Amino acid sequence: MFISILGNIDVSNFKIMFPLVATTGFIDGIHPCAIAILIFFIAFLLTLQRAFKNILALGAVYIFIIFLTYLLVGVGLLSGIMFFGQHHFFAKVGSVLLIILGVMNLRDVFLPRLKLGLKIPRISNEKIRALLEKATLPTVAIAAFLVGLCSIPCSGGIYAAITALLASQTTFLTGFLYLILYNFMFVLPLIIILILAANPYTLLKFGEWQQQHRKQQKIVMGLFMLALGVAILTFII
């Protein structure tokens, strides 16, 4: 159904591109990688009995650095694609990558014994947690930068495909504005979780729900990646 809908739309149209970019950005933002780290960070601050104002400030820095890191990666990718001029080629490459990552997401669920799962590397994960435990502005900023970089392999397939699509359908300025929208929607789930930190019980329940439904999240993410990749290859490029 998703593919058939895409086949009948003009993605260069603002009324189509805007919700497409916003929706894919939000879906990309609900992957377990960055959310799990933010929950850990807020839970740790709560154990220190920090004031919510302090949690809000450090959490806002964390989210902004992730936003900025992802935006810079997207701008670099958009610039590179437009510089080489092979818009459709890179869109195809991004779509194929998206399909591969979608398959890997599903493989992690149904064939968990296979290695090379889509997650933040263990060494980086431990480093990030160590930095967050210090709970200072510099360490939080560094940790967020590492999260932004290390989570790209985990969910960056959608980002790469959308960026390549923007390069083939828009100007650089328009594409840049869409990237701002995409990345705002990407961090929106983190903003919501940060607000939930005002109520420790709600945050705890959300963390439990997220842990209990990791497999379902990966299945939904994998299927979405597959559908989007196939749809772009088949109907848009």
pLDDT bucket at 4, cuts 50 / 70 / 90: very low
Beta carbons within 8 Å of 92's beta carbon, 6+ residues apart = 233, 237
Is 164 a residue whose pLDDT tops 60?
yes
pLDDT bucket at 5, cuts 50 / 70 / 90: very low
Whole-model pTM: value is: 0.75
When the pLDDT of each residue in the chain is averaged and rounded to a whole number, the result is 77
pLDDT recorded at residue 43: 75
Q: What is the pLDDT of residues 101-116, one digit of tens each?
A: 778 777 777 776 655 5
- Check: CB of residue 201 under 8 Å from CB of residue 115: no
Burial of 143 (0-12, 13-18, 19+ CB in 10 A): buried
Is 177 a residue whose pLDDT tops 90?
yes
What average pLDDT score do residues 28-43 get? 75
What distance in Å separates the CA atoms of residue 66 and residue 113, rounded to the nearest whole number?
Answer: 31
pLDDT bucket at 180, cuts 50 / 70 / 90: very high
